[in-house]
Amino acid sequence: MEIEDRDFLNSPPLKTVRFGGSVVETLAKYKRGDLSDYELLKHQLADPEIKDAQIITWLQEFRNCVAQLTKDHEQLIYTILRVPWVGRSQAVVEEYMAFLSNLVSAQTVFLCACLKMVISHFTPKKVAICEGGVEISDSDDDDENLPRNFSQCHQALQLITRYVPSTSHFLVPILQDSFPFVQKSSRTLECYVHNLLTVTSYLPTIRRDVLEIIIGQMLKLDVSASRSDIEEAEENLSQSQQAGNCTEEALFDMDEDLPTGQPPSLGVMAHPVAERLDSLMTMLLAYIKDLCHVNGALHTDRTKELYRDLLDVFDKLILPTHASCHIQYMLFYLCSFRLALAEAFLEHLWKILQSPSQPAVLRQAAAGYMGSFLARAKFIPVLTVRACLDLLISWIHRYIDGQDSKGGQACCDISLHGPFYTACQAVFYTLIFRHGAILASNLKKGLEYLQSLNLERVVMCQMNPLKVCLPAVTNMFAAITRKYQVVFCYTIIERNSRHMLPVVHSSAGGDSVTTNTNPLDSFFPFDPYLLKRSGKFIEPLYQAWEEPADSELIANKTVHQGSKEDDFDFLCGETPQGDGIVGMTPNSLDSNPSIGSPPVSFQRHC
């Protein structure tokens, strides 16, 4: 008999081999204290070889007495919920969904159990694998029926929601608790995240909570795969492949038909954590694009709603997290859809920076995001950049006025003036990247605008921002402002270097001299994007660093003896941590280059 062709609602139960009485009789005996048939019923339901016809027969009987399935029968219900219904015949799936509908309607005490059961199917089922005589558990990532199975789960979830409108309230914690461990395979994480994003399509009221769950887990991946670790893994892979190619060429150069080496896997990250993150970022960015566009046109209302949701998650999770590398690009990408979104994001950051009620660490982070966003987003026009610079520089001058009005000597204290220093660094960093665009249309008016910023007062103030900002930023800013005769910084830089007291400590290799090269503990959130597949979304929108022409800034420069040869690129290196090795002389300006910061090769003396 073909189960797929039967009308499960109107057809009588199929004849199957079974033991014990009907469900009604079994429940009646259980009530009288006779547990024999009850235990037999649970045993038959737990049979891994249970047939479709048997499942249908049992479910029909359970539906007829669902009112009797109170909390006293909790173990029986849990056994039913473990019946493998996903991926079976359509008749089984429909009968099971009908049972779930009846159960949650009559016995809401089992709502959470039903939700957990459905969510448990959001990842590929586990299969036993034997390796070296040891059985291990892994996910069946190659199951070609996964899309169909996931669709059945979402149908069940929508059905439960229809009968219990408060489902959303109970669903979010279950989605959080059921999230796979971040060290699971990329495929497992992809499946779960894809299904969570699908849930938001028919339960939009929980979208912000779902995005918070997803981004929170992705943030764990992001901070555990540092920029230097990813770059090192890619470099090691490249070197190993080159070495392999050379070996094979030496062995097989006499035979043209034999391969000389396999090309690297396109789009696959060498770092395993970065690979997982890349797959999830690709999915998240594609979700943002698809949700905000209808038939290729931007849907304004949808985009605004998503922006608000992502901004809430940004404030709660991303902004307080130091040195995340990639997850913040979700907002970078969304803001590229319309200038109004980018301006709203900048305004939001600006409000955090200037608010005295906000913690200093968040104000400093907001300044870092603001400067990095202005510098790196191609889609932000010069007018917006100038408007933001006006806000920042006005706030900086007001801050200087406030310190001057107190009288006395203002000290260079990061704990007191942290937001001020990060605001100054944001201005310097933005001008490094955007001065060319500011001067491009009209050189005379551009120079007048730069002069109007009164940068000389900023760098000459008692709080001495050039001493605190990253040396790479400071030196590139000094080179650019000297070229256009906007402000001369090298006298101050030289004085600061003489006053920078080195710290001598012993190590295995002898005494070494260190100094704090990143006292602000700052980083640039929108430094170069390293993930390969998801990077295709970001690359067209991203302003990469363009090395200035030799005739502009490199002429007559003084390269210090301690400078590293690989500091030629503005994008290379790692943000200096608390201590970094510098030269033995107190006036050495050498330091480790910052992520996305100017190279120290542009350092020079007046």
Per-run averaged pLDDT (10 residues), the chain, 606 residues = 48 51 88 89 90 92 92 94 93 95 94 96 74 53 80 96 94 96 91 97 96 96 93 89 62 42 64 95 97 94 97 96 93 97 97 94 95 96 96 95 77 83 95 93 92 94 90 92 92 84 47 57 88 95 78 44 38 43 30 37 36
Give the pLDDT score at 594. Answer: 36
Residues forming beta bridges with residue 85, ordered by sequence position: none
Structure tokens at 581: 């090795």
pLDDT at 500: 65
Q: What is the pLDDT of residue 193?
A: 97
Residue 583, both tokens: 């030269």
Nearest to 477 by CA among 605, 604, 596, 598: 598
Residues whose CB is less than 8 angstroms from the CB of residue 284 and which lie 6 or more positions away in sequence, other chains included: 193, 197, 214, 215, 218, 330
pLDDT at residue number 8: 47
Q: Are strands 134-139 and 297-298 parallel, antiparallel or unpaired?
A: unpaired
How many beta carbons lie within 10 A of that of residue 490, not counting itself? 18
Residue 128: φ, ψ to 5°: -85, 130
List the beta bridge partners of residue 297: 294
Q: E strand or H helix at 136, and its extent?
A: strand 134-139
**pTM listed for this prediction:** 0.82
User: Residue 523's pLDDT is what?
Assistant: 78
Q: Where are the domains of the chain?
A: 11-126+142-166
The phi and psi torsions of 514 (rounded to 5 degrees) equal: -130, 160
Q: Report the candidate in 242, 522, 483, 511 with the shortest Cα–Cα distance to residue 366.
A: 522
Structure tokens at 520: 């602000």
Tokens of 562: 């301690």
Structure token pair of residue 41: 């019923």
Give 510's contacts (C-beta < 8 A, 6+ positions apart): none
